[in-house]
Amino acid sequence: MTQSFSNPLVEQRDFIAGKAAISLEDKAVIAISGEDRLTWLNDILSQKLDELAVGVSTEALWLDAQGRIVRDFHIIDDGETTWLITFKAELEELLTQLKRMVFRAKVVITDRTEDFVVIATWNKSVSETYSSNGVSLQWQDPWPTTSPGGWRYGDKPIAAWEYREALVPITTEPHVWQSFTKAGTMALDALRVAAFKPAGPNEVDEKALPHESDWLATAVHMNKGCYRGQEAVAKVHNLGHPPRRLVFLHLDGSAHALPNTGDEVYLGEELVGKVTSVGQHFEMGPIALALVKRNVSLDAELSIVSGTETISATQEVIVPQSAGSVIDLGEFRAKKK
């Protein structure tokens, strides 16, 4: 994907103003049709989807049996087909695994990635958006509002996040750029970091739990029935604490360059985490998201090792150390006595 076409700070402003749009070349599009599609998706994903209303945007996570995140999905249903937007990495493996889980359900899974381009905008419609069964397929991110059945550990982020993704047929994409200028992904990265918004694959690794990044707020329904990973999610939420927490980092602006995703984060000489997303914000300057150990002091100054350079960083809490353990076992045990 193109990171920037000219000046990423100008592109950010144009994107927020509705003048620019971003082509998300790393996105895949999957169509799920059939009369059992919503109940089937409800059984395998973290969000309550069996009663998803037509045209309503939501997001969900696909978890493993230990409650770790495999990938995230942006979802909208048109009354006949449920449309999933996700990252392209390991797409063939994903499609194979989904098809293996159909069993006797009346569901048809179709890869539509080659038919569409995903166009990102800021609170603005794209006239070339594909209409399916009379529904315009433009997904609107529910973040930062806590969705029904969700749970937010931290404070609601202050920075605005009015993000949309439109499915535009490949054949009509050129017309989009008659109404919008092109912005690169650096503009989007900075705005997403400022809004504390987790996204795959950046905030998804082999150990990622939804509790660590406050993804329970919009992508997990805590009161729905069983799905893969549900027991592990409930156990950490009710009785335990996630081992890591997502933090927002203000980076030392005197550094010669921004860190890279995956760069290691240190407290003194101790390795305590890694950078997951980075941005150069037009107002905040250099910023980042990082996953760090839960017990890292909230006011500790951290450092990021990026190549030969060390970059100082101060924290802003996204997920507090107290996340999880919402059931007071002390009170429960007292009642038993």
Per-residue pLDDT of the chain (337 residues; tens, 9 = 90+): 799 899 999 999 999 999 999 999 999 999 999 999 999 999 999 999 999 999 999 999 999 999 999 999 999 999 999 999 999 999 999 999 999 999 999 999 999 999 999 999 999 999 999 999 999 999 999 999 999 999 999 999 999 999 999 999 999 999 999 999 999 999 999 999 999 999 999 999 999 999 999 999 999 999 998 999 999 999 999 999 999 999 999 999 887 789 999 999 999 999 999 999 999 999 999 999 999 999 999 999 999 999 999 999 999 999 999 999 998 755 544 444 4
The CATH code belonging to domain 243-317 is: 2.40.30.110
CA distance 83 to 178: 26
**Residue 278: exposure state from Cβ atoms within 10 A (0-12, 13-18, ≥19):** buried
CA distance 301 to 80: 52
Q: What is the pLDDT of residue 331?
A: 52
Domains of the chain, residue spans = 8-237, 243-317
Q: What is the pLDDT of residue 253?
A: 87
Which residue type, as a one-letter code, is found at position 255? A
| CA-closest candidate to residue 137, choices 179, 81, 199 | 81
Length of the chain: 337
> In what side-by-side order are the strands of the sheet with 163-169?
138-140, 163-169, 116-122, 20-24, 181-182
Which residue type, as a one-letter code, is found at position 91? L
Report the SS3 class of residue 185: helix
Q: What is the pLDDT of residue 332?
A: 43
Is beta strand 181-182 parallel, antiparallel or unpaired with respect to 20-24?
parallel
Q: What is the pLDDT of residue 254?
A: 84
Element (H, E) at 193: helix 185-194
| 93 Cβ contact partners less than 8 Å away, ≥ 6 residues apart | none
Cβ atoms < 10 Å from Cβ of 104? 6
Name the superfamily (CATH) of residues 8-237.
Answer: Probable tRNA modification gtpase trme; domain 1 (3.30.1360.120)
| 169 Cβ contact partners less than 8 Å away, ≥ 6 residues apart | 115, 116, 117, 128, 130
Q: What is the pLDDT of residue 202?
A: 98
